[in-house]
Chains A and B, each alone.
Chain A
Amino acid sequence: AQTVTQSQPEMSVQEAETVTLSCTYDTSESDYYLFWYKQPPSRQMILVIRQEAYKQQNATENRFSVNFQKAAKSFSLKISDSQLGDAAMYFCAYRRGYTGGFKTIFGAGTRLFVKA
């Protein structure tokens, strides 16, 4: 069975600094997709960034980038120039397709605090 592990329950970063959130996963599949989601205190989850496992190039979305190490099954999220609005729960997620559908498995989450 696939699993997703986020070993940092909480992280803290100073405004304008850089922080890296860790995620490891376990799978025997070669074709899958990885995501980072953000859940602010208002609870609505939004997609931050996604990565296709077959792509070696790390995904980047503005201040958010990932370090995808397929062999090590590691998928960390780097937030540069942290802003107060980045404070939230961050979930790492693994998704694979099945015939006619898909299933997403989430990590336990990392709560990020941003200090002014």
Chain B
Amino acid sequence: KAGVTQTPRYLIKTRGQQVTLSCSPISGHRSVSWYQQTPGQGLQFLFEYFSETQRNKGNFPGRFSGRQFSNSRSEMNVSTLELGDSALYLCASSLTGDVLDIQYFGAGTRLSVL
């Protein structure tokens, strides 16, 4: 069974641009969560989707948004990029979205904002 796939693996953008990251969960998984990982802040929760609905959101500005499609694939979008958005963005999927469910992580997308 294929794991969680995130594309692209690396991205370089300039300030003010927008970016879209993609996450394909493990087949059959319905919950997708997104995290931002930086050396200074560690891993921070962005949002969680289940069956195309955003169920929870972290403390990020409205420039960060996401969505989930009917096949459970998810995208996150960051508009008006800032230097501080440079980070590793991780996606994790789980089968049922239950609180005790195991989350499987992708390898991440490394975003560099110049």
Contact = CB atoms under 8 A, between A and B. Distances in A.
Interface of A: 33, 42-47, 50, 52, 91, 95-98, 100-109
A65 B94 CA distance: 23
Given A102-B48, A108-B42, A95 B99 contact: yes
Contact of B99 (A42, A102, A106): A102
Nearest to A4: B42
Interface in B97-112: 97-100, 102-103, 105-108
Given A102-B56, A103-B45, A47 B100 contact: no
Interface SS, B side: strand
A92 B97 CA distance: 20
Taking chain A's interface residues, is the majority helix, strand, or loop, or is none over half, making it mixed?
strand
Interface of B: 3, 33, 35, 42-45, 48, 50, 55-56, 58, 88, 90, 92, 97-100, 102-103, 105-108
A83 B73 CA distance: 36
B42 A106 contact: yes
A47 B99 contact: no
B42 A103 contact: no
B28 to A, nearest CB: 18
A105 B50 CA distance: 18
A44 B3 CA distance: 10
B76 to A, nearest CB: 16
25 contacts: A33-B99, A43-B88, A44-B106, A45-B90, A45-B92, A47-B102, A91-B43, A95-B99, A97-B98, A98-B55, A101-B48, A101-B50, A102-B48, A102-B56, A102-B99, A103-B45, A103-B48, A104-B33, A104-B45, A104-B103, A105-B45, A106-B43, A106-B44, A106-B45, A109-B42
